[in-house]
Structure 1
Amino acid sequence: MKRLSPTPVEHHLHQLAQMATACLIEEVNLTPKPGLVDRRGSGAHHDLTLALMERSARSLTPTFYALAQQSWQRPADIALRETIGQLGREGERQMMAATAGVNTHRGAIWALGLLVSAGAMLAGTGDSHRVCEVAAQLARLPDRAAPKTFSKGLRVVHRFRVPGAREEAQQGFPHITRLALPQLHASRRAGADETAARIDALMAILTSLTDTCVLHRAGLPALRAMQEGARQVLTAGGYAGAAGRKALEKLDNAMLRFNASPGGAADLLAATLFLDRITGAQAATFND
């Protein structure tokens, strides 16, 4: 029996899912990153490896596809919010099965899941700001089936009275739209290679993010060291230059001393790469 070719919509759904997974893999492979898993090793972690993170990312492709499929050209309403919430929790279970119970990408499922859904709701149109606006509309809606227990991130939010991943999404991902994407594009224009431009984008996030992963592991002193160290990298001209690389090495050493890893920033970097990629893919499609 002849296999039918995928429809244009099916092709776009698969593309969204594959891009989300690819961006998670690109994020973890980006090297060097302060305190985070990369190609050098496990950073400040004892239970994470590059291979485990890549396996986790690939396990999420079906979840991203389901999110895109259920969201295609739908409005932001409670029914959709609860559907994507359920799909996200199923994705967490698949991730945990793939990693033997290690939490590798829970935060990324939230951020990228919302953005995949928003991209599908817009049927592949809209710039990065519009995608983030639609994702924010979803994030602000209630999910009656959401667990009532506090995660580590939520406990940190309440303890330190800082915004966390939920607030970041509800505000339209300002660390992506106002900091990471502009820095990514500026570094590229300045002649930085892709690795340096992406590291600079991560630094831009780190300059102001109240990363709950860092706060949970090492408190406010580590957060302040992270933010100031990232500012020094960018003030030195970014990772493309010798001074910027030296400043990043100093930041990496500080994070290791604190045993702190900015996992929330890593999730936002993957989301940044996703928005950069889908925007570019849309432009290429429209120019064909």
Structure 2
Amino acid sequence: MNAVIQTLPRYVDSARLGRLAVASLHAELALAPKPGLVTPFDRGSHDDMDAGTFLRSLFALRHYFCGIALAGADDAPFSTLRTLGLNAEGAMLRATGGVNAHRGAIFSLGLLVAAAARCRSSGQPASAEQVCVAVQQWSAALMAAPLDPNSPGQRARALHRIAGVREQAAAGYPVLRALALPTLRRALAAGLPREAALCHTLMTLIAQVDDLNLLHRGGADGLHWARSEAAAFIADGGAFAVGWRPRLQQLGDAFVARRLSPGGSADLLACSWFLLQQEAV
């Protein structure tokens, strides 16, 4: 009985973190307008998925995020986390009929959920930035893990010889610590509503990240165009500017015309929102 009582808080906290992860992905899905990305109102630049596809994927992943939180709380080895992630990919693909809706989030958000749970269970601080750094405990295993050379993101990564999300994770997600989280914190502190703050942060990420989804769809020229357009949006005030919403919708139409979709930046946005929300749990 004592063992059960001692274990219960870990289960409760892991379940909370798992629910926050799913809620963060849902917040990203519900966000609109988003250039080239799926929203509840349109498919963006995607012919093979819509909001329903993402919701089916989220339903299939709800147990994964709770499970990987519990594994993190139990200080499970990276091999266990990787197995959970691969199983989650299979569940996602079965739920979506083979459509990759959340592979990037399964990786990055899964690692951050596990790291947050581990920090809490070991009595360490769990600020957003500290959780990012905590992912570095798995750096060696991350870099040694095999990659799928046939995935679109890995093909783009190899072709253009740039670092990908695995390198970000191994380094403790510096893009989240130095860019996304400060941007989101400042936007919220300045009084922007959640939707505006998230859109502003998304465009900041698009302007500065080597998004593999953009590279896969548009090559180096497409990535350069997307980053330039996002940078111009931010330079003109971003979501702080009057009339930002119709301007972002117009920019979204231009992304769709070029079939560009910044899915990597969207994953980082969901991770950022999760990291802020878990601080209050």
Which residues in structure 2 correspond to 1:163-242 (within 5 Å)?
163-242=163-242
Q: In 2, are the aligned partners of 1:114 and 1:135 still within 8 Å (CA)?
A: yes
Gaps of 5+ in 1: 282-288
**Could you tell me how far apart the structure 2 residues matched to 1:169 and 1:260 are?**
25
Q: Which amino acid aligns with 1:180?
A: A
Map 1:17-32 → 2, pairs under 5 A: 17-32=18-33
- 1:262 Cα shift? 0.6
Partners of 1:65 and 1:219 lie apart in 2 by: 36
Residue 121 (structure 1) aligned with residue 121 (structure 2): no
Contact 2:33 2:245 in 1 (8 A): no
Q: For residues 225 and 115 of structure 1, what CA distance do their matches in structure 2 show?
A: 30
Structure 1 residue 122: Cα displacement? 0.7
1:50 aligns with 2:76: no
How far 1:191 moved relative to its partner? 2.0
1:97 aligns with 2:94: yes
The CA distance in 1 between the partners of 2:63 and 2:154, in whole Å, is: 27
Mapped partners of 1:201, 1:86: distance in 2: 32
8 Å contact 1:17–1:116 — kept in the other structure?
A: yes
Q: Structure 1 stretch 163-172 or stretch 16-25: which is displaced more? A: 163-172
Q: 1:190 to 1:147 in 2, by over 3 A?
A: closer
Deviations 1:101-120 (A, max 9, x none): 11110011000010011011
Output the TM-score relative to the length of structure 1.
0.89
Q: Distance in 2 between matches of 1:201 and 1:20?
A: 18
Secondary structure in structure 2 of the residue aligned to 1:192: coil
* 8 Å Cα contact 1:82/1:143 also seen in 2: no
CA drift of 1:245 comes to 3.2
Q: Secondary structure at the match of 2:279?
A: helix
Contact 2:214 2:223 in 1 (8 A): yes
Shift of 1:143: 7.7
Instruction: Tell me which protein shows more helix as a share of its residues.
Output: 2
Distance 2:247 2:51 in 1: 24
The 2-side partners of 1:148 and 1:51 are apart by 27
Q: Matched residues, percent identical?
A: 34
Partners of 1:251 and 1:171 in 2: CA distance:
32
Shift of 1:136: 2.8
Task: Quote how far apart the aligned CAs of 1:97 are.
Answer: 1.1
TM-score by length of 2: 0.91
Q: Is the 8 A contact 1:72 1:120 kept in 2?
A: yes
User: Which residue does 1:280 correspond to in 2?
Assistant: 280
Q: C-alpha offsets along residues 122-160 of structure 1, whole Å, 9 cap, x if unaligned?
A: 126321111111113324425877456442211111101
Distance 1:114 1:59, change over 3 A: same
Code of the aligned partner of 2:254:
A
Q: List per-residue Cα deviations over 1:13-62 (Å, max 9, x = no partner).
A: 10011111111111011010000001220000001111110121121111
Aligned mates of 1:104, 1:148 — CA distance in 2:
17
Q: Is the 8 A contact 2:143 2:167 kept in 1?
A: no
Instruction: Pick closer, same or farther for the CA change 1:255–1:9 going to 2, 3 Å.
Output: same
Q: C-alpha deviations, 1:197-250, integer Å up to 9, x for none? A: 011111111111111111111111211121111112221222242353354234
Task: Report the alpha carbon displacement of residue 184 of structure 1 after superposing the two structures with TM.
Answer: 1.1
How far is 1:71 from its partner?
1.6
Q: Is contact 2:212–2:264 with CA below 8 Å preserved after alignment?
A: yes
Aligned equivalents of 1:144, 1:167: Cα separation in 2: 11
Partners of 2:189 and 2:23 lie apart in 1 by 24
Contact 1:114–1:138 (CA under 8 A) maintained in structure 2: no
Aligned length: 274
Give the letter for the 1:116 counterpart: V
The answer to whether structure 1 residue 266 and structure 2 residue 263 are counterparts is: no
Secondary structure of the residue aligned to 1:44 is coil
Q: How has the CA–CA distance of structure 1 residues 169 and 71 changed in structure 2, closer, same or farther, with 3 Å as cutoff?
A: same
- What SS does the aligned partner of 1:280 have? coil
Give 1:8's aligned amino acid: P
CA distance in 1: counterparts of 2:31 and 2:169, whole angstroms: 24
Q: Cα deviation per residue 1:61-109 (whole Å; 9 max; x = unaligned)?
A: 11111111122152xxxx7111100110000011111111111100110
- Structure 1 contact 32–38 (Cα < 8 Å) conserved: yes
